[in-house]
Each structure stands twice: as C-alpha cells, then as structure tokens.
A and B are shown apart, each in its own frame.
Chain A
Amino acid sequence: MNQKCAKKMERKLNKLKHVVFKETGIVCSLNPTNNIVICNAGLVNGLSEETILEHFSVYGTLNNIVLVPGKSCSFVSYVELDMACKAYEALNGQLPIAQDNKPVYLLYAERLPQHSIDSRKVWDELPGGLVILDDFITENEEKLLLSLCCFDDSLVSQMKNRQVRHFGYEFRYDNNNVDKDKPLDEKIPKECDFLWKRLHENTDWKQFVPDQLTVNHYSLGQGIPHHVDTHSAFEDPIMSLSLNSAVVIAFKRDDRDICVKLPPRSLCIMSGETRYDWTHGIIPRKSDVVLSNTGSYTLLPRGIRVSFTFRKIRQGECNCQYTRNCDSYIRKNNSELQIAASEIERLHVIDVYENIALHFNETRNKPWPNVLEFVNSFDVGSVMLDVGCGNGKYLGKNKHVFDVGCDTSCALLDVCKKNGFETFLTNCLQLPFKDAVADGVISIAVIHHLASEERRLQAIEEMIRILKVDGRALIYVWAKDQHKNNEKTSYIKQDRKNRKSDTDVVVADENSEAPVSKGMTLPVHVNRTQFKHKDVLVPWRLKNQQNTVEDTFLRFYHVFEENELSDLCSKLENVEIERCYYDQGNWCVVLRKTLIKNS
C-alpha cells in the first residue's frame, strides 16, 4: 500500500470508528483483539452468518458471529488473537462482501455487543415433543429409499422451492389439506415397512403406522417456508426421514427460534407441542451455520437433500389444546359464534319486532328525505327491493318502479299488505331472489341488527348478488356517534321530552347488562344517550293507547363507527362505493355493482 492509500484508509477507519460507536456503543481501534468488527456491512445490507463464516473461518476457529438487527456493522470473534490478526491483514479493504460488492473495512473491537439477533436463536435445546433419532437407518437402507423415488418430471409436482411427490393421499397445497375420501392408487411403498418395525421395537411410538408419505426433493439452495402441518389433516406425530444431506431446520414459537441440525439418515419425530404449536421451516440457502458443541461456529455445506415425511391421516376433527394454530378449533369456534349470533337475532330482533309491530308502525311514518330522493332516482320499469322494509314506509313512493319489500316480521308485512304493497317474508341473509334482477336495493336501519361482522357482510353480499351490474344499493345503519360535528342528533335531543312523559319509568342503570345467549351478556343502552358500546341492547318500551308502558323489549344493535360501513362494503370485489355520508345519526352508503375487478 502506498502512503497516499494508507492515509486514506486511516481516515476512513477513523470515521467508521465513530459510526460503530454511535450505532452500538462499542469502542474499536487498530489495537488487535480477538474481536473484529466489520464496519460497513451487516444485516441491513443483506450480510448473512454463512457469508461471514465462509470467508472468516479460513483464518481460524470462530467462537461467535454477531449480526446486529437494523445495523450496518457486524462482529466476529476468534478463539486465538493471531487468527484475528491474520484475518484482519488479509481482508481489511479487500474482501468484497459489503453492499454492491464493495470491500469491507475492519477494526478490532474491545468486546462484542450483548444483544444480537442470534441471542434469540437457540442451539442447545429442543422444543417440547421433538425427538431426533440419529442414524435411524443405514447407508444401504438410505440408498434403497432414494432409489424408490425417481424425480422424473412426469411424476412430480414442481413447487416454487422444491419438488414433491405424494403416496397414499395427495396433499393439496391450495387448501393445505388432503382429500380424505380420495386415496391415491399409489400407496406408501412396502420398502418403507421396516421403519415401523424398528420404530415400534426401539421407541415409545408402538402404534404409529403412517398412511401418507410426502417426498420432498430439495436442490441446493432450496428450502420450505415456516408452517404448522394442518391439524385436521394429520394425526400426531409426524415423522420425517432425512436422506443424502444434512440441513438445519428452525422451529419457531412466539419469539423463540430454535435451530436443529438434521443429519442424513436421522429420523425427526414431531409430536405434542412441536407438531401442533411450533412452526418449522428451512431457510433457502446453500449452507448452514452450525454452532458446535465446543461453542464455535462452522459452516455446514448442504447437498441435495431428500426427505420422506410420513403422516397418518386424521379421521374427524382435531381436538388438541393448541387452539391458536388449530383449524378445527377455529372452524368450530366460528360456527358456534354464528349460532350465538343467530340466537341473539331471533330473540332480540325478530321476536321483538313481532311483539312491538303495531306500536312500531305508529311511530314510523315519516320517510327520511335522503332515502326518498334515492328511491325516486330510479326510472320507469325499474325493479327495487326494500330489504327489511318494516311497515313499508318507502314502498309505493316511486310510482314508476316495481317495488317489493321483505322483512322477518309477519305483523309488519301484514301492515304493508293492507296498504297494497308487495312483500315476502325472508331473512336478509338469504334473499330468495334470482341473481341480477334488481335495479335498486334499499336497506334502511336493518343490518345493524345482525350480530356478527360475517353476517353483516353476508347481508350486503346478498343485496349485491340480486342487483344487476350498474344497479345501486342504499344502506343505512345506526352510528355509534350521535354527536357528529358537535351537533346532537334528534335521537339525543328527544331526551328531555321523553323523560317528561315517562316520569314513571325508572332510569336504567348506566352499567346494566342482560343475558342474551349461553352465558353471554350484553350492555343495555340508556335510551336517548350517546352509545358507550358497539354491541348493545336498546330497550323498546311498549306503550298502550293511554301511552303508558306495558312492557319493555330489548332490541340488539351493532352501532357503527365512522368508516366501518364503507370498510365492510369494500371487502366485496364487485362493488364501488359511490357515496358515504352521515345522516341524522346514521352512517349511509350508496353502492354500485360493478363487474368483478380485473376480470
């Protein structure tokens, strides 16, 4: 190095010394120690342990590599000082592994940073339920198994990351499950039978006999994304035999990351929490960094690896305790939720309207101007459906259209019939109309009575289904916020008036709750006040002709936050939101049906 270059290098290193100190708080210098800091390459530049190991282990045994999250510097530590010195002399300003293949600049560090990304990576323990049996098969047996599976293109599916072949049952990657009633003609080869005899004789798994085999063929640099095998598809345990090459597999749960080396001919048994609750995956790369028993890092080059994964198809649903990854639990829970929701709607919406129908009819005569304007915007010969028409206050308003109402309340539809309106009884979740027959749909103050988001979305989906392309729907729901723009809605304003006439009504307790469905309770709303909760029971005081309260019924409401209605509508692909507004304590949208986008 000439003098000019040396000067330049000195300046550069001096500058980097400050950068490293600022980023990590570690003092570094030109005075040799066992630790070398790579000042200008780290995780943010895409530097990996394996790259560091590949180049730095040439000069001696490493006992640590530290990549600092979010930083552009990294650290290596040698067992002996002279190894560090050799590496420093050879690599400083030379080794082109910094960004854009620029050379790295090195300094000696007084110590290593304490918190590294690898402090989460654990080598010396296994997750619960994981067993690795080394040398489960001999080299001859390995050869035999490898010969069973030729990977010629006509037999295998080419995956993004690897080649796979299935025996017994096809594993479908679209739904991550198997067609249990469609077994393949090709069963697990008989040549595998010795494995189970050996397993039963030597381990605690005395019963395990698989009926499904997936063979994965990993070329150099290939891996498999982190996953949990679908609970409802397979029993516990799952066994995987590694052939031809070792690999490091990672198990993750929460912030835990356990690295496990799978040598060739080893059997990896995943059971219990490993099978159900930990994900496992293989990073796509050409070699693995392995921490040896002596605490030093070595690079383990990969070869072509073939794994035989044996599983037993589960009949029925999974019943495990690891619910967060359990598809069976999630499905069951969801269907229980839907059952509870439909029960709430039956008791606290449908039955209530039936009971209060006549009184309700007397109080609901004035149509809202913005809804009328929408109804009147349809041309001669248009078909309109009023979903949840109640007493039919929007029916027959536009004389040029054919309008039909529907509702769950017999009593309210009888009122419609008396007024000469056409209706039918239905739940808004299943509209008994053909697809694409309506030019317009209105649904005023209806879907806030549905007790789950899935059901509210389903109701909107149904309205859109029966609309023609370019047809429009108007939806009104009650808003949680009854004080929009510092102005009280008439719902709140009516408070004083009502209390005066209802002096005999005990003011409801602000925190009262009422039972609704199996062990569930919901808060009871205080009439004419701002909403405190989103899912509430709103009392309806049934009055007789003398205007005295005869009975109180609790109606279920889900009151909507701002944007909630439009967010829900935008989940549908064939919908365009034309308008979204606030009208007298309600959130409102005008939707237009479109062709499905991008098709």
Chain B
Amino acid sequence: MKLLTHNMLTSKCMKGVSVGYPLSIKALDIRTVEVEFNPEFVAKMIPKIDWAVLCSAAESLGKTELPKEVIDNYENDQDFLKKVHHILLEVDVIDGELVCPETGRKFPINNGIPNMLLNEDEIYL
C-alpha cells in the first residue's frame, strides 16, 4: 500500500463510523519500490492530497523528510517534488494493519494489499 492510497482510504462505510479518517498505520514490513519520477504528476497531486495526513502517516513509518507545510512555489522545486514523489509512490507497506480512528477496527495489510472487506454485521443492510 502506497501512502497516496492511504491518503484516500477511510472506514466511513462501517456501521456507526462517521468520518473514519485518517486510518492509522501499524507497519510490520515496509519496502521501497522504484517508480519513475514525473514532476508534473507530483505537482498536480500535491493540492489534491491531505498534506497533514500524509506527513503524519510518513512519520509513523519513520520517514521524517517532509515539512509540516507545503512549501511555496513547489511546482518548480525538483528536490521537494522528488521527496514527495518518494513518500507518495515509492514507500510500500507490505505487511501490517490499518486502524479505524473511531472503532479501533483493524484492517490487515498482506502482500501490500489492505483488506478493507467488512463483515455483514459491520454494514447497513
């Protein structure tokens, strides 16, 4: 699971959960995969993501290279875009779990794939 995916995931479809965001990450196995750098893509992605959630997710994985706030004029700062590129797309959580902030429900991550399936008693029929 990439942190860009994590930035959009929520447990709000569960019965009794209202926001379900952000899910906290308990990682057991983190790997780095190389992804081709596309500065235009990263620059376009930055305004779409929840920056604070990305920063704290990265921190929880021991990655502290991102500033608390998006820097000015980031579109033209290759170094900054590269850092963001790395955090968004190259960090891959292979094993671990995601935790719902409201209920504590755990969603396992196996082989890099979060299991977001809900049981019948967890959904509104």
Interface residues of A (CB under 8 A from B): 335, 338-339, 342, 379-381, 383, 400, 402, 404, 406, 408, 410, 413-414, 417, 420, 422-427, 429-434, 437
Q: Can you list 12 residue pairs at the A/B interface with Cβ under 8 Å?
A: A342-B125, A410-B113, A417-B111, A424-B9, A425-B113, A426-B116, A430-B116, A431-B13, A432-B12, A433-B10, A434-B9, A434-B10
| CB <8 Å contact, A427 and B40 | no
| CB <8 Å contact, B41 and A380 | yes
Interface residues of B (CB under 8 A from A): 1-2, 4-5, 8-14, 21, 33, 38, 40-41, 43-45, 48, 89, 111-118, 120, 123, 125
| CB <8 Å contact, B10 and A424 | no
| CB <8 Å contact, B41 and A427 | no
A383–B89 alpha-carbon span in the complex (Å): 13
| CB <8 Å contact, B116 and A434 | no
| CB <8 Å contact, A425 and B115 | yes
| CB <8 Å contact, B123 and A381 | no
| CB <8 Å contact, A404 and B5 | yes
Residue on B nearest A404 in the bound complex, by CB: B5
A417–B114 alpha-carbon span in the complex (Å): 12
Report B-chain residues with C-beta under 8 Å of the C-beta of A425.
113-117
| CB <8 Å contact, A424 and B113 | yes
Q: A410-B115, A432-B9, A433-B8 are in contact. List 15 more A-B contacts (CB 8 A).
A: A335-B125, A342-B120, A381-B44, A381-B45, A400-B41, A402-B89, A404-B8, A406-B116, A413-B113, A414-B111, A417-B113, A422-B2, A424-B113, A425-B114, A430-B14
Which residue in A339, A413, A432 is a CB contact (below 8 Å) of B11? A432
B27 to chain A, nearest CB (A): 15
Report B-chain residues with C-beta under 8 Å of the C-beta of A335.
125
Secondary structure dominating the interface of A: mixed
Report A-chain residues with C-beta under 8 Å of the C-beta of B38.
380, 400
A406–B123 alpha-carbon span in the complex (Å): 18
A369 to chain B, nearest CB (A): 25
Report B-chain residues with C-beta under 8 Å of the C-beta of A422.
1-2, 5
Report B-chain residues with C-beta under 8 Å of the C-beta of A424.
1, 5, 9, 113-116
B39 to chain A, nearest CB (A): 10
A536 to chain B, nearest CB (A): 24
A402–B11 alpha-carbon span in the complex (Å): 21
Residue on B nearest A424 in the bound complex, by CB: B114
A333 to chain B, nearest CB (A): 13
A383 to chain B, nearest CB (A): 7
Report B-chain residues with C-beta under 8 Å of the C-beta of A413.
113
Residue on B nearest A401 in the bound complex, by CB: B41
B98 to chain A, nearest CB (A): 9
Report B-chain residues with C-beta under 8 Å of the C-beta of A402.
4, 41, 45, 89
| CB <8 Å contact, A430 and B13 | yes
| CB <8 Å contact, A408 and B117 | yes
| CB <8 Å contact, A437 and B117 | no
